Structure 1
């Protein structure tokens, strides 16, 4: 997991009143690194707080003193590292957006079939297989994105005594972004949540009329993966109607989750673009 705490001195409070608010939010996001919560609400909250943090960064970059410090020649290598990291993060953001879109499209196709057949005795195997194949493609893309994040983590930040607070601040923000993106990618892959309750233990519980508490601990993507495997399980042949109804509920929940995450990710992407453009403009002036 990425963790960057390189700033030896805080940005002087006298520069701008937004700085204490920035530091407070940065500390809160750092603290969230230690939490194991992986619900759609917690992930969306982190994306929203990260967006607020980037808004502070944009405002701080607009200050003349910070622009002057950032453009100093002795920080050229550090700035290049930050810009390289920002470009990789944008690539990962695009991968995450594509993963959400691909998952949404495949599940919407399955929902369409379920609705047309009204949950009766229908043949769903080909569409379910297509959804499972799509999820494998998504997870492969997520693995690639995680490798890109690790590349940023391993990019050692060359800090010296002359490193300005604004440069250190940007590096710390990038570290927080990496941690949140790691959590986000793990969430949409369903990897962590599935380990809490998987296999037939999930299938047995999910078929009960009174759903067990453990089911709620699964995130929406892990629940969908388990449900798709449930529909393909030979053990469920006599319970197709109930399994299909449950699948429909799971897919509807997932669609709402994806929509919420897409909105948060798109907004975050726009902020990342704006900051990168601001940095490039500062360097070119």
Structure 2
């Protein structure tokens, strides 16, 4: 998904907020967490080089985002913050402030559905491989997986458009009419939204790695290795993430006709790749579940402040 990875690269930079720590001590914690999430810039480098994003890097950023929202909750509970939001009439920006968590919850829901369906497809492929003698069953499961990947591409495209609209809305509303303290509060929440958008873009890019035919050399190499029963070809997959790695071995498995011994080893290779993807999906699911609770709490806190 070249377009989404390019977009990730252009949006991953996290800026310093430079907030006054004396009047808003918790804001310092937020800035520290944002600085830790500068690790997102490594995702930018990966995307810029054309290499698929790996799950491990995304999970680190995802759990870092959970910690960031914990700081945001403390920030919103501070009397100073609540007084600024109420007394300085930030109600005019209420739609923008609340829309961030709401939009991210919607996208997170779609992402969780994709992860669930991906895990189900992986389990089906596991089952088909264990009964490899039923070639038609394996072919059907692979076909189902390919159809699923095509649906994922459409769902991800829709989510990316939502993220873009959310991002553009923050740019449209200037802070020129706000006093310093009010502008600082809004800027904090916008920065949090910005880094959250970057993390979600990375997750969506990971899930929508296209199942298109890569360079001929790569397919030929994997197919050749599987013919020979060679399993140790990890060094040739360094440029692939867990999703693309499964795509490659499935393609090769269904298109080569190895010997019986090679067939056993090639099936073991596919099993390993499927297990790696299953573990990756479960890690992302865990992080999203934690993040969901934080996003809901942030939305509730904002509503309570702005409506009371």
Partner SS, residue 45 of structure 2: coil
Which of 237, 257, 271 is the matching residue for 1:237?
Answer: 257
Residue 214 of structure 1: how far off its partner (Å): 3.5
Query: 1:210, 1:82 → 2: CA distance?
Result: 51
Instruction: Write out aligned runs for 1:252-271 (5 A).
Output: 252-271=275-294
1:184 aligns to what?
A: 203
Residue 242 of structure 1: how far off its partner (Å): 4.1
Residue 29 of structure 1: how far off its partner (Å): 1.9
TM norm structure 1: 0.87
Residue 59 of structure 1: how far off its partner (Å): 0.5
Q: Is 1:216 aligned to residue 238 of structure 2?
A: yes
Residue 153 of structure 1: how far off its partner (Å): 1.6
With over 3 angstroms needed to count, the CA separation of the structure-2 counterparts of 1:144 and 1:83, relative to structure 1, is: same
2:186 aligns to what?
A: 167
Greater mean alpha carbon deviation, residues 244-253 or residues 65-74: 65-74
TM norm structure 2: 0.81
Residue 112 of structure 1: how far off its partner (Å): 1.4
Query: 2:173, 2:203 → 1: CA distance?
Result: 24
2:219 aligns to what?
A: 203
Residue 87 of structure 1: how far off its partner (Å): 1.4
Query: 2:275, 2:197 → 1: CA distance?
Result: 30
Contact 2:24 2:80 in 1 (8 A): no
1:152 aligns to what?
A: 166
Residue 132 of structure 1: how far off its partner (Å): 0.9
Query: 2:270, 2:292 → 1: CA distance?
Result: 32
1:135 aligns to what?
A: 149
1:85 aligns to what?
A: 100
Which of 248, 252, 255 is the matching residue for 2:271?
Answer: 248
Residue 179 of structure 1: how far off its partner (Å): 1.1
Query: 1:36, 1:184 → 2: CA distance?
Result: 15
Residue 85 of structure 1: how far off its partner (Å): 2.6
With over 3 angstroms needed to count, the CA separation of the structure-2 counterparts of 1:224 and 1:103, relative to structure 1, is: same
Contact 1:110 1:128 in 2 (8 A): yes
Q: Is 1:52 aligned to residue 67 of structure 2?
A: yes
With over 3 angstroms needed to count, the CA separation of the structure-2 counterparts of 1:266 and 1:224, relative to structure 1, is: same
What CA RMSD, in Å, does the superposition of the two structures yield over aligned residues?
A: 2.5
Query: 1:40, 1:274 → 2: CA distance?
Result: 26
Query: 1:50, 1:5 → 2: CA distance?
Result: 12
Contact 2:13 2:41 in 1 (8 A): no
Contact 2:76 2:82 in 1 (8 A): yes
Contact 1:96 1:185 in 2 (8 A): yes
Q: Is 1:25 aligned to residue 39 of structure 2?
A: no
- Cα deviation 1:210-236 (Å, max 9, x = unaligned): 315230331111112222322333xx1
Query: 1:254, 1:135 → 2: CA distance?
Result: 14
